[in-house]
């Protein structure tokens, strides 16, 4: 539960990217934060005392496979950096919002109402709950609804796939990439 609440807080990334004025250089702020986060995550992996401290503080939050690998937060931040560089602003914001809101909604709805398993611990009800949350985001966000709805579907169903290295990396890049291609907008390099 704490892990999903932290995951939900990752909604601050697209929210801040959307509202921070361009003259504050939100891309550079995000990249600076990512460098600091990655540095701490790598130090955690290399320094035993730091690893022990991290495990005490975040007990029950990190997955067992993250104990010896980069955390989901690191992968999400790297994906966020790539998204804000490659995709138009609105698409980057939505792709990251789908990851934060859709995934968290799928988890809570699946926990509460999930009965039919799809893959592993995933349920039909959770997947549909995540899809509903993503569709609502798509409809509320200003812009081409058909493109945003395609992104919502891609984000929701790619959550079911065991995509390496981490779903927090793959979901925003897949949904953002597909939305960018569907919108006919070229990558903003």
pTM of the model: 0.90
Per-residue model confidence (pLDDT) at position 119: 81
Extract the tokens encoding 141: 């966000």
Contacts of 56-60 with C-beta under 8 Å, sequence gap 24+, read: 60/2, 60/3
Per-residue model confidence (pLDDT) at position 173: 98
CA angle (147 as vertex; 25, 26 as ends), nearest 5: 5
Per-residue model confidence as pLDDT tens for the chain (189 residues): 667 778 778 999 999 999 999 999 999 999 999 999 999 999 999 999 999 998 888 887 888 888 889 999 999 999 999 999 999 999 999 999 999 999 999 999 999 999 999 888 899 999 999 999 999 999 999 999 999 999 999 999 998 888 889 999 999 999 999 999 999 854 444
Extract the tokens encoding 174: 């897949």
Per-residue model confidence (pLDDT) at position 189: 46
Give Cβ neighbours of residue 184 (< 8 Å, ≥ 6 apart).
none
Per-residue model confidence (pLDDT) at position 65: 87
Per-residue model confidence (pLDDT) at position 1: 67
- Cβ of 185: how many Cβ atoms within 10 Å? 15
DSSP 123: B
Dihedrals phi, psi of 123, to nearest 5 degrees:
-125, 160
What is the dihedral sign for C-alpha 75, 94, 159, 179? negative
3-state DSSP: the chain helix, strand, coil percent, rounded to 5?
A: 75, 0, 25
Instruction: Give me Rg for the CA atoms of the chain.
Output: 17
- Cβ of 45: how many Cβ atoms within 10 Å? 17
What is the dihedral sign for C-alpha 166, 17, 146, 114? positive
Per-residue model confidence (pLDDT) at position 123: 94
């Amino acid at each position: 539960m704490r892990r999903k609440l932290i995951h939900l807080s990752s909604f601050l990334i697209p929210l801040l990217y959307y509202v921070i004025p361009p003259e504050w250089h939100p891309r550079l702020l995000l990249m600076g934060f990512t460098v600091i986060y990655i540095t701490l995550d790598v130090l955690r992996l290399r320094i035993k005392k730091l690893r022990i401290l991290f495990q005490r503080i975040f007990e029950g939050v990190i997955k067992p496979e993250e104990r010896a690998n980069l955390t989901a937060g690191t992968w999400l931040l790297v994906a966020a950096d790539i998204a804000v560089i490659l995709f138009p602003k609105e698409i980057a914001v939505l792709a990251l919002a789908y990851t934060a809101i859709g995934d968290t909604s799928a988890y809570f709805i699946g926990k509460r109402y999930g009965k039919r398993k799809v893959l592993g611990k995933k349920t039909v009800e959770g997947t549909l709950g995540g899809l509903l949350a993503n569709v609502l985001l798509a409809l509320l966000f200003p812009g081409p609804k058909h493109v945003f709805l395609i992104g919502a579907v891609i984000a929701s169903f790619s959550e079911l796939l065991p995509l390496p290295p981490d779903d927090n990396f793959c979901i925003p890049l897949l949904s953002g990439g597909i939305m960018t291609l569907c919108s006919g907008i070229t990558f903003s390099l």
